[in-house]
Structure 1
Amino acid sequence: MVAIKICGITRLDEIEYVNLLKPEYIGLVFTESKRQVDSQKAKFLCDCLDKSIMKVGVFRNNSLEEILEIVNEVTLDVVQLHGSEDEVFIDLLRENLVSEKQIWKAIVIRDSTEFENHNNIDNYILDGANSGSGERFSWEIMSKKNIHENIFLAGGINEDNVLLGIETFNPRGIDVSSGVEVINEKGQRMKSFEKMERLIRKVRDSYER
């Protein structure tokens, strides 16, 4: 079964939604973003989260010390790196984690992208250049390449294209944020229970046919 990650959780009502819908993962963003949360708020949200749902912390060029501090304070299950972190940094991070955690690495897909594997990465996130924007990268670029089996597909995933994405890439999981959001009356982005429910049902129903 394809795992589902709902990324960019910022509100208690969104925690209530995922507790009902049970995606495998949620994502909390700890780098500059309209969905950024600090460690104190993230800990509060995670304290209210169903224990069966895994917690992913999203970082981009944060210092090693900051990542380790947040991992321990929020008790994250996964560290997801979206910046220019190289193999040396990733190895050092792995060595300094006080307990076993997964490390995921985002790969920005451009015309000249070459997919490189690193033995210390548990999963790769295939994403577009504007992460969190809702823009889909050109799937045709990567569908013709030898793609690593441990990938999550991100970048513009929504209920209308998620099944095509799964068929095209056969990913381990899908990573969705803006595709399950609405704009509220204050002009703020927030997760929609109805959009999350439809996407999750569509993915899971496809495995029950």
Structure 2
Amino acid sequence: MNIKVCGLRDPENIKQVVDLRPNYIGFIFYDKTPRFVNELPVELLKAIPATITKTAVFVNETAENIETLIAKYNFDAIQLHGNESPAFCALFKSKVKVIKAFGLNADFDFTELSAYADHVDLFLFDTKTSIHGGSGETFDWSVLNKYDLDKPFFLSGGLSVDNLDEVKNITHPQFYGVDLNSRFEIEPGLKNIDKLETAFNLLKQDDTNEIRS
């Protein structure tokens, strides 16, 4: 079970989350969300261990700005959370890991993902809303049974300490990991470390990696 903690922006809070050793850590470069990072100390991000995949999150951003931020902060992955095309994803596939996010509901057409399959490394399935993630709302996870591509996916949208036991019951062969965000916050962009520790221990309890107590 891979764990991604997303929506960080406070330097001290980032250090605390890094100490938990998530697999991915996400920074949102979208100025219409309260989790918008704006500016972060470059050395802070470059000091994050190589075992953690540093991920920049964008919504309908220009390729030029994405390239600039990848170079500035030495990102390992990008997450595209808007209406980006397969061709747009392909621009970055040889440079960083590419995660393409989609908002799901009962009517989602999984066939549209086929065009992206060769141009991304992972999908991220979130709850379909008008705000491009961070809603704190879940979707009906049974729709995941309709997904039949050979491409791993993150599960996002309303994940919390209260429903992670249910998450562990998901048996889809491409289920790669969870994206933890708004339900683990003191306020937007500031994570509750106690809640995250509880989640990490629950999700990793069958893993050989020791989690900080």
TM-score by length of 2: 0.85
CA distance in 2, matches of 1:72, 1:139: 36
CA RMSD of aligned residues (A): 2.0
Could you tell me how far 1:93 is from its partner in structure 2?
Answer: 3.5
CA distance 1:148–1:135, change in 2 (3 Å): farther
Q: Residues of 2 paired with 1:153 and 1:144: CA distance?
A: 14
Q: 110-119 or 76-85: which moved more?
A: 110-119
User: Any stretches of 5+ residues in structure 2 without a counterpart?
Assistant: 209-213
The residue aligned with 2:27 is 28
Change (3 A) 1:147 1:91: closer
- Tell me the secondary structure at the aligned position of residue 174 of structure 1: strand
Residue 103 of structure 1 pairs with residue 107 of structure 2: no
Which one-letter code corresponds to 1:141 in the other structure?
V
Alignment-derived partner of residue 157 in structure 1: 159
- The answer to whether the Cα contact below 8 Å between 1:143 and 1:168 also exists between their aligned partners in 2 is no
Percent of aligned positions that are identical: 28
Of residues 114-123 and 56-65 in structure 1, the stretch that sits farther from structure 2 once superposed is 114-123
Aligned pair in 2 of structure 1 residues 105, 189: CA closer, same or farther (>3 Å)?
Answer: closer
The separation in 2 between residues aligned to 1:47 and 1:178, in whole angstroms, is: 25
- Superposition pairs for residues 112-131 of structure 1, below 5 Å? 112-115=107-110, 116-117=113-114, 118-130=117-129, 131=133
Give, in angstroms, the shift of residue 80 of structure 1.
0.5
* Alignment of structure 1 residues 139-158 onto 2, 5 Å: 139-146=141-148, 148-158=150-160
Q: 1:55 maps to what in 2?
A: 54
TM-score after normalising by structure 1: 0.86
Shift of 1:144: 4.7
Partner in structure 2 of residue 193 of structure 1: 193
Distance 1:91 1:19 in 2: 29
Give the SS at the match of 1:73.
helix
2: CA distance, partners of 1:128 / 1:6: 17
Deviations 1:117-164 (A, max 9, x none): 321110000001231111001112223543654000000111221231
Alignment correspondent of 1:89: 88
Q: How many residues align?
A: 198
